[in-house]
Every structure is written in structure tokens, then in C-alpha cells.
């Protein structure tokens, strides 16, 4: 096997892509300020027909910042944001940074149990939440440190007359409107009536975001991402595509990927705002509205996950739709099947390239070239200023073509895990982030993910940790043993399968539907097992450890 030469990928970079990027000592909010100066009258956000210019967005973010300051949110305080892709998300996140706060992304699909853990762990004393999600928070409010709750509704940023019709629809759907009229609850729109704040001058190493990511323990932990980390990743993505310069201030970014996920936040929101693009916000990543948005707005950038591209390819009559405006699409969060990319490119004439990243790296570390050779099954090459290598158990680099653990280093790599010094020591060694993914590199410096060291399941772009699902299953009185694995799924990439041994007294009395209903009460919908099988026993090692891999292999062979 050939020895590894230093950064073989550099010779395969597209023309104009630098080996390194310079990271200015500026806070992340500087990108929005810059675009507000350069593209003041351009549309920054389009939400179901309601538009905000860059100038207006910058003004509202500063007003929100002042609102937070008036509520005694101090620099370094964590502000949890539990919102779908709406103008409020962008305003709340940038407003938090402008006030010197630290954003905490909270998945709106979280159950009360998951919400409780994250709010407690982050020590978040402020929560920005959608009115429809309030009942979940109210279930746990006595157990979390939250002192102030800022409530908004979808209708707050709907255009006329949709804003008038919306409350009627919401009432018809039996959804709660408004918020409890008591101390500690504030209307989002009232905070926007404050004068614009003077931005807090954050230092590059100040925390900007706690991005929660799962762990093999099943408890999610907060990756500490600094202003420098997030600024660097935007500039790395920008450097990767020199052809995008001609679209500066003219491009149209599809904001369908959830911004509470670091991939959507960096690639769609932060990079979109940095580039002066119009960001078309979709509160849910549904394929019908996505196709309509592409046609209506002439979308040029469509970042997504493989399941979205599968749905796009299979959308009825897609060949007849006007989708040729799309220029470039970055696929991440799960492996992209080659046939899916090929079909998508045939329909759109766009370039669909696969990348790789993880929350701990803000997130993008690798990508296939925009103009050069895309290699089948590869995650591409490290971005500018990213170092990457494949190492053995001792941390020594393995020869080209051999499998080992992928480790990465760069200005986009996190500071560590929030309040988890031991976990941080395991993940970060001498500045290198140990990804837990098994990979190999070819002689051109293209990387390939072979397997996961961790047993993480990636379904439809969401990370699911088997241990967490198992913990919930074990809470069911009928469950004696449980093992959860990811099995191949043509649509989601992987799906969750649970193999269960019931206690003798419950056999024949408890059904798969009962188990599923129990999971739905305790887990976000995407974590609920789609496949539930009862077994007499589960395969185990000599020390009694359940062998998940055997279950996965056995299921895959039968499928």
C-alpha cells in the first residue's frame, strides 16, 4: 500500500480554490451587517410571500437584541430557539448574537423529555418558541432553568390576507393561540418595538452556538461552536465554489433544510446571508412546496439531504416543471446514492455534489468539486484550511486505501463539548477531531466513508442514536430486552428497526402497535422504530453484549 503524501487533494482542487482561507477576526453577525450595507434593498427572506429586505432584517435583528437586553439577557447567556424556518428564527438567532448571547438550537419535533434534557444541560434561561409548541414546554417548565419565554406565531410574519385567515385555520385545527398571560412570558412582536441595539463586539473565540448532537451514551451533548468556527465554515464553503461570485447579491437559496440543524444553519442561512441571496423559507421540507418554490423564485441553490432529492426525482410530472434555474446542490447528512444524483442532474441540468460534515465541525469538512471529477461513493476532498487523515487505533496514519478512523482539523472545529471535559478529551486530541467514522482515502485525496464506529443511524438526514431509543423501549413494562439498529431504506437512507424480547407474562398480549404508540409518546417522530420485531432471544457476545451488527446483517439478508 502506498504511503500518504501531504495533502494529495490540493492538486485536484478546482481552479481558483485556495489551499487555505483567511478567517477575519469578526463575529458571525458581521456577515448580515455587511450584506445590509451592500444589498440593502435586496430581499433577504421570502416567507410564504412576506418579504424582508437586508436592511429591514438587520434592523429587526438589532431590535430583538435590544429586547433581549431589556429582559436582562447578558453576554454569554444561552438563548434556546425552538422554531421552524421562519423569519423569526433568523431574527432570533442573529438578535441573540448581537446581544452577546449564545444560541441553542432546539428541534421543534422534540418531546417534553428531550426538551427537558437540552434546556437543563444548556442552562438556558431564555426560550424563543412557537405558540403551537408551548404545551410541550409547559409540561417541563418547573424542571428547567428557563425564566423568560418569548412566544411567536406563524401569523406574526405572514403577508396580508394570510395573516388574517391563519388564526381561523389554527382554531379550526384545535391549536393553541397566543401565550399564557403571566409573568415571564413575552410576545416576540413586542420585543421588535425596541430601538435597534448597539451590536455586542464578540471575540472570535466567544461561543456563538451550542449545537446539540447525540452520543453513544444516548444523551445529546452541546458542541461549542465559536464565532470563528461558524465564520470559517461559511468562508470555506464560499471558497469551494469560485463560480458563485457572479451570483453575489443575485442568487436564490432554498431554505428548506431546518435551520435548527447545523447543516441548514450554515449552508442555507449563514452562507445565504453572507452571499446576499434571497432565502426562500419553507417551514417544513415538503416536496410539493419545494418544487413550487423552485419554479416561482428561480432557485439557484438547493442544499438538501438524499431523501429530498429522491422525492424530487419521483415528484409527479417533474420533467415538465420549470426547474432549470437550479445551479448547484450540496447533499449531506447521509450517503447519496449515485443513481439519485444522476437522475437529478438529468432533470435539472444542475450539479449535485455530495459532501460530509458533522456538528462538531460547524459542519462541513469535505466536498466533491463543483467543476472537477466527482467520484462515485466518495464524500470528496477536505475543504480549504481543513486537514484530514485516516488513522489506526493508536492514532497513526494508515496507508492509502486502508480503512481507519477519519480525523479532521481546521478553524471550523469546535472548542469542545459543553460541560463535558471527559467527552471533549476523547473527541479532541492535539486539535484533531476524532469523527468516529471509519473511512479510507485514495491516491487523489478523495475520502470514502466505509462504516460508522458509532452505531448511529442516519434516517432522512436526522441523527438517531440506538441507545436513546433502547432506553425508551426499556421503560415499557413488557420489554425484557431490546436492540435498535439502522437498516437500509430506499427513501430515508436508513430506518430504525427494533428487535424486542418480551417478558414471558406479556407474550401474545402486547402488539407491535402498542410498542410503537409508546415510542411516539416519548420520542420525536423520526426516532420512532418503523420496524418492530419480537424475538425469543437476541444474539450476544461472550460477555453478554447484544450484537447489533448480527441483527442488522440478518435483517438485511432476509430483506
Query: Would you list the domain boundaries of the chain?
Result: 55-201, 397-452, 457-558
Q: Tell the CATH topology of 397-452.
A: Luciferase; domain 3 (2.30.38)
Q: Is the pLDDT of residue 306 over 90?
A: no
Per residue in 117-142, pLDDT tens?
A: 999 999 999 999 999 999 999 999 99
Predicted local confidence at residue 37, as pLDDT? 98
CATH 3.40.190.10 fits 55-201, yes or no: no
The residue that leads in pLDDT, 286 or 37, is 37
Per residue in 515-539, pLDDT tens?
A: 999 999 999 999 999 999 999 999 9
Q: Is the pLDDT of residue 216 over 50?
A: no
Q: What is the largest CA-CA distance in the chain?
A: 70
CB 115 within 8 A of CB 140: yes
Q: Within 10 A of 80 (CB to CB), how many other CB atoms are there?
A: 27
User: Nearest-CA neighbor of 207 among 188, 221, 227?
Assistant: 227
Q: In a 10 Å sphere around its CB, with 0-12 CB exposed, 13-18 middle and 19+ buried, how is residue 345 labelled?
A: middle
Burial 86-95 (b: 16+ CB within 10 A, else e): bbbbbbbbbb
**pLDDT tier for residue 143 given thresholds of 50, 70 and 90:** very high
**pLDDT tier for residue 545 given thresholds of 50, 70 and 90:** low
Predicted local confidence at residue 175, as pLDDT? 40
At 116, give phi and psi (nearest 5°): -55, -50
Mean predicted confidence (pLDDT) in 274-298: 96
Predicted local confidence at residue 162, as pLDDT? 67
CB 108 within 8 A of CB 156: no
Per residue in 322-363, pLDDT tens?
A: 999 999 999 987 778 778 888 999 999 999 999 999 999 999
Predicted local confidence at residue 179, as pLDDT? 59
The percentage of residues in the chain with a pLDDT greater than 90, rounded to a whole number, is: 76
Q: What is the CATH number of domain 457-558?
A: 3.30.300.30
For residues 531 and 498, give the distance between their C-alpha atoms in angstroms, rounded to a whole number.
6
Mean predicted confidence (pLDDT) in 22-45: 98
Predicted local confidence at residue 176, as pLDDT? 46
The residue that leads in pLDDT, 181 or 497, is 497
At 195, give phi and psi (nearest 5°): -70, 155
Say which DSSP state 266 is in. Answer: I
CA count, 13 A, side-chain hemisphere, 450: 14
Amino acid at each position: 500500500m502506498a504511503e500518504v503524501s501531504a495533502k494529495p487533494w490540493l492538486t485536484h482542487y478546482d481552479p481558483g480554490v485556495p489551499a487555505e482561507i483567511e478567517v477575519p477576526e469578526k463575529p458571525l453577525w458581521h456577515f448580515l451587517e455587511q450584506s445590509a450595507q451592500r444589498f440593502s434593498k435586496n430581499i433577504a427572506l421570502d416567507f410564504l410571500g412576506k418579504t424582508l429586505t437586508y436592511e429591514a432584517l438587520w434592523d429587526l435583528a438589532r431590535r430583538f437584541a435590544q429586547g433581549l437586553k431589556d429582559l436582562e439577557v447578558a453576554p454569554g447567556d444561552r438563548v434556546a430557539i425552538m422554531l421552524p424556518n421562519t423569519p423569526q428564527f433568523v431574527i432570533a438567532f442573529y438578535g441573540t448574537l448581537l446581544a452577546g448571547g449564545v444560541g441553542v438550537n432546539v428541534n421543534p419535533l422534540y418531546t417534553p423529555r428531550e426538551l427537558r434534557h437540552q434546556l437543563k444541560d444548556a442552562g438556558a434561561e431564555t426560550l424563543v418558541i412557537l405558540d403551537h409548541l408551548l404545551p410541550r414546554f409547559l409540561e417541563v417548565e418547573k424542571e428547567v432553568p428557563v425564566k423568560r419565554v418569548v412566544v411567536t406565531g406563524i401569523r406574526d410574519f405572514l403577508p396580508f390576507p394570510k395573516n388574517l385567515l391563519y388564526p381561523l385555520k389554527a382554531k379550526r385545527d384545535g391549536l393553541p393561540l397566543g401565550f399564557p398571560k403571566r409573568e415571564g412570558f413575552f410576545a416576540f412582536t413586542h420585543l421588535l418595538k425596541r430601538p435597534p441595539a448597539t451590536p455586542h463586539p464578540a471575540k472570535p473565540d466567544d461561543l456563538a452556538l451550542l449545537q446539540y448532537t447525540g452520543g453513544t451514551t444516548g444523551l445529546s451533548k452541546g458542541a461549542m461552536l465559536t464565532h470563528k468556527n461558524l465564520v470559517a465554515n461559511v468562508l470555506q464553503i464560499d471558497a469551494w465554489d469560485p463560480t458563485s461570485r457572479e451570483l453575489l447579491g443575485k442568487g436564490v437559496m432554498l431554505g428548506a433544510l431546518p435551520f435548527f440543524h447545523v447543516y441548514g444553519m450554515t449552508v442555507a442561512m449563514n452562507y445565504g446571508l453572507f452571499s446576499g441571496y434571497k432565502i426562500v423559507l419553507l417551514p417544513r421540507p415538503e416536496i410539493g412546496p419545494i418544487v413550487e418554490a423552485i419554479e416561482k423564485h428561480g432557485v439557484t441553490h438547493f442544499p438538501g439531504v438524499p431523501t429530498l432529492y429522491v422525492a424530487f426525482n419521483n415528484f409527479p410530472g417533474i420533467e415538465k416543471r420549470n426547474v432549470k434555474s437550479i445551479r448547484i446542490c450540496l447533499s449531506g447528512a447521509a450517503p447519496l446514492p449515485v443513481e439519485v444524483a444522476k437522475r437529478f442532474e438529468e432533470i435539472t441540468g444542475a450539479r449535485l455534489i455530495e459532501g460530509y460534515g458533522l456538528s462538531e465541525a460547524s459542519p462541513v469538512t469535505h466536498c466533491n468539486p463543483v467543476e472537477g471529477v466527482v467520484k462515485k461513493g466518495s464524500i470528496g476532498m477536505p475543504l480549504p484550511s481543513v486537514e484530514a487523515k485516516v488513522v489506526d487505533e493508536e492514532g497513526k496514519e494508515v496507508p492509502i486505501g486502508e480503512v481507519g478512523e477519519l480525523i479532521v482539523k481546521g478553524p471550523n472545529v469546535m472548542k469542545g463539548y459543553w460541560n463535558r471535559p471527559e467527552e471533549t478529551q476523547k473527541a479532541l486530541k492535539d486539535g484533531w477531531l476524532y469523527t468516529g467514522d471509519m473511512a479510507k482515502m485514495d491516491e487523489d485525496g478523495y475520502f470514502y466513508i466505509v462504516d460508522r464506529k458509532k452505531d448511529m443511524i442516519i434516517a432522512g438526514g436526522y441523527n438517531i442514536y440506538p441507545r436513546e431509543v433502547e432506553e425508551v423501549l426499556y421503560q415499557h413494562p413488557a420489554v425484557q430486552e431490546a436492540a435498535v439498529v439502522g437498516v437500509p431504506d430506499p427513501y430515508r437512507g436508513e430506518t430504525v428497526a427494533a428487535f424486542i424480547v418480551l417478558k414471558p407474562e406479556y407474550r401474545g398480549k402486547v402488539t407491535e402497535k402498542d410498542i410503537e404508540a409508546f415510542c411516539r409518546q416519548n420520542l420525536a417522530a423520526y426516532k420512532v422504530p418503523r420496524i418492530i420485531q419480537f424475538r425469543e432471544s437476541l444474539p450476544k457476545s461472550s460477555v453478554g453484549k447484544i450484537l447489533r451488527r448480527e441483527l442488522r446483517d440478518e435483517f438485511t439478508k432476509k430483506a
